[in-house]
Structure 1
Amino acid sequence: MSDIRDDVRAGFNELYGYEPAGMWSAPGRVNLIGEHTDYNEGFVLPFAINRRTVIALGLREDGIARVASSFADEVVEITISELSPETLNGWAAYPLGVAWALGQRGADLATVPGFDIFIDSDVPVGAGLSSSAAIESAVAMALNDVWRLRLDRPTLAAVGQLAENKVVGAPTGIMDQSASLLGQKDSAVFLDCRSLDSEIVDLGFGAAELVLLIMDTGVTHSHATGGYAERRASCELGARMLEVESLRDVTVDDLPRARNILDDTTFRRVRHVVTENQRVLDTVRALREQGPAAIGDLLDASHLSMRNDFEISIPELDLAVETAQANGAIGARMTGGGFGGSAIALIHRDDLSRLQVAIDGAFAEHGFGQPDTFVVVPAHGASRES
């Protein structure tokens, strides 16, 4: 983390020629359980991770915004008053989309000072660990500070979601930004995506000598492309056909009736969301009453539901999950929006090395690219660094 901060400060100074006014950071996230439930007004249980995006920001007096990063060659420049979903594209839509979204939440973009931003990150891109929300949350925190907007963290999460939905064009829910902004050390964020009420839930991994292993398949995905949007459309169709506001209003007991009303594909999409909501509630209860060693079956069941009912897994994710289950994992599942990215495995720390060797061997045997495996630790949310 300190190395990234040093790199960001040096990158800012080299590019813009002066010292930044401050530095801010925000973490990526892992969703422990609760996939594709957020935009259905359901329940999710993510946690912030010890992989972060760091930004340096300096103020300008000419109303111009410039953004640059370690992962893109160009510096993108635009007048702040001209920010709109129509004028923004590419990677810069994430940070500049936040500035536009803050304007929708009361910032007067005609009078706020301009800014220069430089970004670096160790959150893997395309791995299902929400690198995009980490950028959005860090920028939202920074502009909230320097523009003196006094918005609270749940509002900043909504700002990040608005940027992603309207500017980037990805129809995501509010889970990722909420985890990045509300996360606390050694804990998960239990979020009700209808009311936006949140509770901090102790995970207890350390006391149980458990670790969470990320198994990044290397197959990148994008929420702005078709598969994610198609799943969301299926959920909205199911809700309309069942005559409810959202799938949050459908319970497990309603599924037999739903089967008689819906076509097979729509029913299976609905069944995933409904049963996943229940699994989130059951996981929170198990963590509080029994501890993390009791949640393995729920993680396993979540993956099967995403593979069979929601159909968002891929062979690499299935192989990672099956290999983890066969090599000591308490539970394993894919995480994130699907169609690529990462799987997670909850495993005793003594079994970690054996699993990592097994994963490498299984991927090589099947002719898949080398996966990246690493442990993540539940960490604190977005913060000012200097």
Structure 2
Amino acid sequence: MESALKKIRRWLKARRLDALLVRGPENRRYLSGFTPPDTSITESSGCLLISHQSAYLLTDGRFIEEAKEILPPFVSIIYKKGVVRELARLVKKEGLKALAYEEDFVSCALKKALEAGLTGVRLVGCQGIIERLREAKTEEEIEKINRALKIAEDILRDIGQALKPGVSEKEIAWKIIEASFQRAEGPSFPPIVAFGENAARPHAEPSSRRLTLKDPIIIDMGVKFSGYCSDITRSYCLQPDDKYRHIYYLVAEAQETAQKAIKAKVPARVIDAAAREVIKKAGLGRYFIHSLGHGVGLAIHEAPAISSRCRRKLKEGAVVTIEPGIYIPDWGGVRLENMVVVRREEGLLLNRLPLTYQPL
């Protein structure tokens, strides 16, 4: 990602900063190819230090073998006395006086340690610098996302055969997780499986609730392929009544309307409004309780947000989800989610799995 490093260095120069400390796991991977994930904000696999002349990967002994695979311009360093001490050594070596850091990935405790350990260095918090670079995907990245989506759709098609009365949400979720590791690198997020009244919760956690014939069903899942994520939601009902069919077709219409509005330079909130207006006109606007979608890439949720609050214009090459939903307490819900590539004149739908309210 040589061009990304050049853009970062131009950003540093424009703000009279000497270097950028990168701790976000997806940002770290995007720039250097270093793949180990972080298990939490306090359990990091490493960081990058990018100055005007140099680029370093700093990690510990757990990741010696992975660090050997990192290619120039990055130089891998295995620290033995903690990352702050190693940063202090490099700061002195490079003569750094102003260091930017990612506010979203530096805890208060780490910031205090940096302030204490990097004497004479001005620390400047920043947000979204690398995330904005990741927003527009290359054709190679789009192909990886497309492969991840195809695997997810194949899994979801197979899962349809297991949706029979008496099966539990947890049993379906486990089948998704197992298949995700068998066919890909694993799930891109914990799968959402919700039956009946639980489907009124957009991010329901799988429970022991067992499926009945009349239950609305929501399944939201994805996998990772070469580090890139897919994200798909389908809604089903074994014996749908008129109410379910009406809501299903309404959500499908809202999704199609939004997808047709997608193209480069259109504000994200315009896409959100297109879907929301369809549901609002049907008198069910109060039951569409989340934003329309989000970007997908190395992270399952990344820029751009397809939301009523987002004024930013869509970039050509971005991959976004379009996922309208209606959620009615004590009844259930319907959500349909597709993935779309933003092109100059229109959106390119990546999904192949057809929309149907009965399992395939």
Q: TM-score, normalised by structure 2?
A: 0.28
Higher relative contact order (CA 8 A, sep 6+): 1
More helix by share: 1
Q: TM-score, normalised by structure 1?
A: 0.26
Bigger radius of gyration among the two: 2
